[in-house]
Amino acid sequence: MDPNKLTKKGIVKQIHTNSKIPMKNIHEVMEGILSCMVAALNCGKTVELRNFGIFKTVQRLPRMGRNPKNPAVPIPIPAQNRIKFRPGKHIRRTAVSQ
């Protein structure tokens, strides 16, 4: 496993080590939190986690793209919904200081 990557399983293990809460319970809570966030984003709501950041869906407008192999032929790219993340103050400060 990549030492520079923190996965969901790694978060569960870290919380278990620090709190001694059973890993199964931590995993269930984490899955519940993530499913609530996904459901809210799918409804077009903004998910705001204080001191962490804000997740919101934004719609990218349709545009014309180019095929790199044949740049003379324009390709229409349809409108798409994307998830945008804006880090909170705490994350910005700690990430910059390291």
Q: What is the pLDDT of residues 6-57, one digit of tens each?
A: 999 999 999 999 998 999 999 999 999 999 999 999 999 999 999 899 999 9
Domain ranges of the chain: 8-97
Task: State pTM to two decimals.
Answer: 0.76
Q: What pLDDT is stored for residue 83 in this prediction?
A: 96
φ/ψ (deg, to 5) at 31: -60, -40
Q: What is the pLDDT of residues 64-85, one digit of tens each?
A: 999 889 989 999 999 999 999 9
Task: Give the CATH class of 8-97.
Answer: few secondary structures
φ/ψ (deg, to 5) at 9: -65, -40
Q: What pLDDT is stored for residue 97 in this prediction?
A: 63
